[in-house]
């Protein structure tokens, strides 16, 4: 449904859109069964016209919601909560990225040579947070590779949860 909505709005020649969504939704391959197929479907229906950027971090705080089925809440009554990220798993992509750079880094996989890109295609644990609070370090990690999911990743060693605008 999410991909169909985006495709509806960009069906006119030359129309462009920026879609901000959870990493699981914009990924070009499903992360958990059929969760987050929007990125995959947009890539298939708009070949060469879809560029996705995953966001990730090593430490800090983040915002999450408690309602997992947000489509059922048409009055948008869910509240935003925030909490600290749990310590990184040493063998995760997040830990590798923190070790490579102590500042924010834009990993543009679309511009890498095949040999360099292959490093980021190796499956390792990769943390996904935001729909709910991390309950354990194991529950937020999935074995995958960032270059298979995204054209690029914007990585922050430390991130901070969102603030209310008003």
DSSP structure string for 143-162:
EE-HHHH-SEEEEEEEE---
- Is 29 strand, coil or helix? coil
Residue 73 has pLDDT above 70, yes or no: no
* Pair 109, 151: CB distance under 8 Å: yes
Q: Please count the residues of the chain.
A: 166
Report the distance separating Cα 142 and Cα 89, nearest Å: 11
Report the distance separating Cα 144 and Cα 148, nearest Å: 8
pTM: 0.85
- Is 152 strand, coil or helix? strand
pLDDT digits (tens, 9 = 90+) for 89-102: 999 999 999 998 88
* Pair 2, 38: CB distance under 8 Å: yes
pLDDT digits (tens, 9 = 90+) for 39-68: 999 999 988 888 999 999 999 999 887 766
């Amino acid at each position: 449904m999410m991909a169909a909505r985006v495709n509806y709005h960009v069906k006119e020649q030359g129309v462009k859109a920026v879609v901000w969504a959870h990493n699981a939704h914009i990924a070009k391959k499903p992360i958990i069964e059929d969760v987050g197929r929007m990125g995959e479907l947009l890539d298939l229906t708009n070949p060469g016209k879809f560029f996705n950027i995953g966001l990730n971090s090593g430490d800090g705080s983040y915002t999450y919601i408690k309602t997992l089925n947000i489509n059922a809440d048409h009055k948008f009554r869910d509240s935003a909560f925030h909490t600290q990220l749990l310590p990184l798993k040493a063998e995760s992509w997040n830990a590798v990225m923190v070790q490579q750079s102590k500042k924010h880094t834009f990993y543009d996989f679309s511009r890498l040579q095949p040999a360099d890109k292959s490093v980021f295609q190796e499956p390792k644990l990769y943390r996904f947070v935001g729909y709910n609070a991390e309950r354990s370090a194991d529950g937020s990690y999935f074995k995958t590779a960032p270059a298979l999911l995204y054209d690029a990743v914007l990585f922050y060693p430390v991130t901070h949860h969102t603030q209310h605008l008003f």
